[in-house]
Amino acid sequence: MQHPIFLFLYCIFYSVCTLSQTAQLDTVEARKAFELINCFRDNPSLYGKKININLKNVKKQKALYWNTTLSKAAEKKALDMANRNYFSHTTPEGKGINILIHEAGYSLPKEYIKKKNANYFESIVAGAKNGEDAVCILITDENTPGLGHRKHLLGIDNGTPFNSKLTDIGIGYAICFNEKKCKYETYVSVIIAMKN
């Protein structure tokens, strides 16, 4: 008699947990995005031509290193956006990515975590078809004043070096499987940072 009760309770618990989740991670697409970012950084002109953008004046940058801590933070952020149906650099509680990656255990200079909503390290995109499409959307950066995502991903600086000094990357790619609860089918967080 204990087995049917246990099975019944397990089914209820599993159903409740599953219903609260709207999205799941796709680590394969996250890795494809990572690889394409490094291809763009290695040969901006060639890869720019492939998406009809002139990047011939963009300097080649070193490859970024996959960082597990940043990856976990990016995955958590992408899932959070999908599960709570928002698209923003800050959570509904007002936390920016600087705080989130600090809380995940990635060491940042103290001045980077003074402002709760600070974002120096994240590019986000929603509705991408796959990881490579997400990268192309961010590098194209259509309708984004100052081309901030492109500069972030490709290590482009204006004056004071910052983006070119970033060395580590983590990407979260979340797929929404309940279109009634999500505005977009996919949510992607790309975090590129440097340890203190």
Identify the CA nearest to 121 among candidates 190, 37, 46: 190
Mean pLDDT, residues 27-33: 99
How far apart are alpha carbons 45 and 40 in whole angstroms?
8
Q: Is the pLDDT of residue 138 over 50?
A: yes
Identify the CA nearest to 34 among candidates 76, 77, 75, 86: 75
pLDDT in tens, 31-55: 999 999 999 999 999 999 999 999 9
Query: pTM here?
Result: 0.89
- Place 143 in a pLDDT band, splitting at 50, 70 and 90: confident
- Place 18 in a pLDDT band, splitting at 50, 70 and 90: very low
Where do the structural domains in the chain lie, given as residue ranges?
A: 25-193
Q: So what's the architecture of 25-193 in CATH?
A: 3-Layer(aba) Sandwich (3.40)
Q: What was the pLDDT predicted at 9? A: 44
